[in-house]
Amino acid sequence: MKLRDKIFSKDEINTSRQWELDLARAFIIFCLALIHVTIECTTDEGLCSGIPYLFDTVIGGPFSAPMYMFVMGVGMCYTRKNTPMEHFLRGVKIFAVGYVLNICRFLIPYSIGYWITGDYAKYIEPLLYKVLCNDILTFAGLAMMLMALFIKLKLPNLVMIAIATVMCAFGTLLNGVDVVSPLGNIFLGYLIGTEDAAGMVLSDFPILNWMMFPVCGYAFGTMLKHVKDKKLFYLIFSLPAIIIAIVYFALGIYHEVGMFGEGQNCYYHMIFPDVLASLCLTVGMIGIYYFIWKVFPKKMFYVAWTISENITEVYFIHWVLVSFVVNLFMYIIRGTTILTPWQVVALGTAISIVSIVLAPYCTKRKGR
């Protein structure tokens, strides 16, 4: 029997719950508050080493958003509501939630902060860029709408990957564009990586650079549904993938190049080689999560499933808590948001736990 026949079937035989994906989501979600508290509560110099570097650049880099978007693409293959229109409407909702989040984590607390302190530079000067910025939710919404179009057109996976590859290549070439107009930079930043001389533009997840992740996730998901021997599948695909990623990222960290270069835009405006390496890491880590699931008692993974089911709610809640606690209460009381690394870990862990506990209640209210 050929190796391909040992791994794959012509029929969709693997439509049960993919616990390795739940573990991937749960890890990302739990680390979110640690990542964002680290960024908000650490100096630029402090982010260059130690625990802050781990959470900001490593876990908050290739281990977080790339896997988040890849797993979203996989999930589009497994959801029961999988028509193009249902995907499109879900994308519209996620996109709208992104703007609601910006109002709740920026406009409201920053307006309160300015009313109390009168600190224009802290609260008002960056407000336009923060409220209109393209965060991961707005990108996820746009990506899902575009994926819905691809599915509606019945494009083969290889064609979708080819389109995403061309998009990423253009995104890499067009990084750092400045059209001078603040609003022009903000909204063009949804598509490509924009910057301005003042460093105010928040073009965090331009769709040209990042579309590869949900597209490849969708292709991976359609392939995973035909896998007969998942153990052999992950050994063959995940092991070499994670070795490639480790070598690439080790070189990148050592030489401070690519997504590990100076400044946040090196990550948010990820170039094509970084995207490929992040895809390798994601496939490798999903394989590792699969083998973890095979070893540990299955009852333990109910928690991961619960967290995974509320991923958007946890993301929303943790960001609102981070903004109110750090940029409003802490700044007003202490006059600074800077904490020691261990204080960051403690605060980030507390916010993460609170967000995970509150998320199911928000989901129930949303359902009603």
Tell me whether residue 155 is exposed, middle or buried, using C-beta atoms within 10 angstroms of its C-beta: 0 to 12, 13 to 18, 19 or more.
Answer: middle
Distance CA 111, CA 89 (A): 32
Q: Under DSSP, is residue 16 helix (H, G, I), strand (E, B) or coil?
A: coil
Distance CA 224, CA 216 (A): 12
Q: Under DSSP, is residue 226 helix (H, G, I), strand (E, B) or coil?
A: coil
Query: pTM of the predicted model, to two decimals?
Result: 0.94
Domain ranges of the chain: 3-367
Tell me whether residue 101 is exposed, middle or buried, using C-beta atoms within 10 angstroms of its C-beta: 0 to 12, 13 to 18, 19 or more.
Answer: buried
What's the pLDDT at 368?
44
Cα distances (Å, whole numbers) of residue 117 to 206, 323, 333: 34, 16, 11
Which candidate, 256, 248, 250, places its Cα nearest to that of 272? Answer: 248
Place of tokens 């050592």: 254
What's the pLDDT at 81?
83
What's the pLDDT at 356?
93
What is the residue type of 121? Answer: A
Complete DSSP assignment for 137-181: HHHHHHHHHHHHHHHHTT--HHHHHHHHHHHHHHHHHTTTB--S-
Is 284:63 a contact under the CB 8 Å cutoff?
Answer: no
Which candidate, 3, 28, 18, places its Cα nearest to that of 220? Answer: 18
The residues facing 227 across adjacent strands are 8
Q: How do the residues of the chain divide into helix, strand and coil, expressed in percent and rounded to 5?
A: 75, 0, 25
pLDDT in tens, the chain (368 residues): 577 777 878 777 776 667 888 889 999 999 999 999 999 999 989 998 999 999 999 999 999 999 999 999 999 998 888 899 999 999 999 999 999 999 999 999 999 999 999 999 999 999 999 999 889 999 999 999 999 999 999 999 999 999 999 999 999 999 989 988 889 999 999 999 999 877 777 789 999 999 999 999 999 999 998 888 899 999 999 999 999 999 999 999 999 999 998 878 899 999 999 999 999 999 999 999 999 888 877 777 777 888 888 889 999 999 999 999 999 999 999 999 999 999 999 999 999 999 999 998 876 655 54
Distance CA 57, CA 170 (A): 24
Which candidate, 272, 252, 249, places its Cα nearest to that of 193? Answer: 272
Q: Exposure string (b/e) for 273-286, b if CB count within 10 Å is 16 or more? A: ebbbbbbbbbbbbb
Distance CA 65, CA 115 (A): 34
Distance CA 143, CA 215 (A): 9
Q: Which residues lie below 8 Å from residue 219, measured CB to CB, with a gap of 6+?
A: 73, 157, 158, 160, 161
Distance CA 324, CA 113 (A): 9
Q: Which structure tokens are listed for 71?
A: 């797993």
Q: Which structure tokens are listed for 142?
A: 């746009």
User: What stretch of H or E contains 3?
Assistant: helix 3-7
Distance CA 160, CA 243 (A): 26
